[in-house]
């Protein structure tokens, strides 16, 4: 997934123009997170998903995509 695709997903999420996403999963994580550690299996290890900042309609958020799980993680500024 490239930056433009991720921007469109974040835009749809912020504007709530589509209540459900069918081609991927979106999960909101704790506010003000710029990275998220995704758990791998049931072990105590994980993978870090780096998040980029987006500003849409006055709202600031950070979002990142995990290729392993196909999950988009979104963290709001507040």
pLDDT mean across residues, the chain: 88
- pLDDT (tens digit per residue) in 60-77: 999 999 998 889 999 999
Distance, CA of 72 to chain centre: 4
Q: Look at residue 19 in the predicted model and tell me its pLDDT.
A: 58
Domain span at 10? 3-76
Mean pLDDT of 34-52: 88
Confidence of residue 42 (pLDDT cuts 50, 70, 90): confident
Residues near 35 by beta carbon (within 8 Å), at least 6 away in sequence: 48, 49, 50, 51, 64
- The predicted model scores a pTM of 0.86
The total domain count for the chain is 1
DSSP structural state of residue 3? H
Q: Which tokens go with 7? A: 């921007």
Q: How many CA atoms lie within 13 A of 66 on its CB side?
A: 20
DSSP structural state of residue 58? T
């Amino acid at each position: 997934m490239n930056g433009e695709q991720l921007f469109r997903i974040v835009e749809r999420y912020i504007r709530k123009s589509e209540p459900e996403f069918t081609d991927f999963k979106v999960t909101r994580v704790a506010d003000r997170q710029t990275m998220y550690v995704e758990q791998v299996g049931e072990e105590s290890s994980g993978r870090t998903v780096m998040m980029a900042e987006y500003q849409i309609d006055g709202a600031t958020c950070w979002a990142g995509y995990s290729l392993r799980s196909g999950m988009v993680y979104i963290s709001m500024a507040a």
